[in-house]
Chains A and B, each alone.
Chain A
Amino acid sequence: MAYVAVKGGERAIDNAHAWLAEDRRGNPDIPEITLEQIQAQQARAVDRVMAEGALYDPGLAALAIKQAQGDLIEAAFLLRAYRTTLPRFGYAEPVDTGAMQIRRRISAVFKDLPGGQILGPTYDYTHRLLDFALAAGGTPPAAALAEAPGEPVMPVYTILRQEGMIEPDSNSDPDPADITREPLTFPATRDVRLQTLARGDEGFLLAMGYSTQRGWGGTHPFVGEIRVGEVTVEITPPELGFPIDIGDVTLTECQMINQFTGSKTKPPQFTRGYGLVFGHAERKAMGMALVDRALRSEEFNEDATAPAQNPEFVLYHADNIEGTGFVEHLKLPHYVDFQSELESLRRMRAAAEKEAAE
């Protein structure tokens, strides 16, 4: 029999893509899903894709989800690859989460507080029972309306700060690093760490945060506050010299209050871990805050022995676009390397057999 070197890679790729398109569409008798439907009814998926894709655009995120057949990491990758090609018009001013239009705001450390506890649209107290009525569809009854708070809701951190009980904000860096332009290097400053975590994989941050609760780098966390809502994004065009409003984004912010620290010269005070994520994403914001605090162990002279306290380990493995690429690259042909391993192993085995025979 004759062996012919494999040809036709190009045709195989075209055929695979055609099949994929068919597979994506599914049964053509069922109406095609629209981007509006995804954006409106799969909003948490859209939020996750925007956060991990590091691009705030619900419409494009919905398109990415549709294109990726609901594979959210693939969708985040599509968004990331797109964002790289966008021109950079300028850098936004720091957003003011204190001025957030609150939709949800809870604190685990005070029973009541100015601005109150606002549950908002949460799954927290739903019973996890499959809702078979939902399967049939329909419009839910309208939820009760409350008066919007007239003024900004004071962050819990500000309340604690009045007493000096918690560490102050670190000085805002006027020129923070930009992890989308500069490669990660170590030691990594907190701005770099927070940026990396903010677009890190939700599952990874969840697992890392969870590990700190189980003793792998414990930080004695309390949820000082979680708030979800809209904040205004502003840029200052150089030709104007003052900030202008370019739109709103939905953010989830978690201020974690952690074990206190102190020294001979500084009275003890609580420390903080911080999480800030695009969209409504409490699980991720909390995981991020736990990991942020764990990564500050060196700053507080704590023993750094757990994985969540190791900046290289956490920051190099938080990105699911990098992770999925490298894990999945094992699918690519490696037969040249495998061949070299085969030959090497054959030689070793031959030598061992010869030695055994002698």
Chain B
Amino acid sequence: MTPALQITQGALGFGGRTLWRELDLSVRPGEFLAVLGSNGSGKTSLLRAILGLQPLDAGTIQIDGMPARRGNRAVGYIPQQKLVQPGTPLRGRDLVTLGVNGHRFGVPITSRAERAQVAALLESVGATAYADRPIGTLSGGEQQRLRVAQAIAADPVLLLCDEPLASLDLNRQAEVAGLIDERRREHDTAVVFVTHDINPVLGMVDRILYLAEGHFTVGTPDEVLRSEVLTALYGTPVEVLRSGGRIFVAGAPDHAHHQGEAL
């Protein structure tokens, strides 16, 4: 079976600093990979590289057997929740429609088939009830559901999520994470999920890619989220605490913070 995502000997730096190198990673269809790491560890750069927006310094990235490139329809992308301005002339339905045909130039007419597809997408994320309300009037959770529908519009092989739960309350986090999980189970869509908090997706994650200090480790949550593993990765004492089914990483140096100290 062709991996949904295959990174071979990947290396990427930023401003003379190596974010990660010799990264070998293969994500199979339907797999849920969480990407963890402190600020500045190269999580977002990894997504940009997979999206074809940033070339690797070394190595290759393949998506469904094809080299990564800009505008690849096989990749869906869910960004961080940022509220749409009130007064934006788009309704919920239109946000999803942009996922279907927003990249296309030409006279902006949405065909009957496309409208039906949008209706089905809205239904699949439970957004039909507010599909015709202006986006600017919708809550963060409602907007994020629409972004999930927008991202899966082209039936992607790989779904990239960049902190999609940030600034949502716990119930909304669970709902949006649930939608993403449902998608990959029912359609075998691979998910690469960048997050700073593993807890909302802990029950869904197959493997974790943990980036830190120019190194990385890959494995199941039980293999990676251990004090000795993260201590070795960071090169400084890090403690993983478990409490009430939730996991906390204590003592991990934040890179932004780190740089601040160096200055």
A associates with B:
no
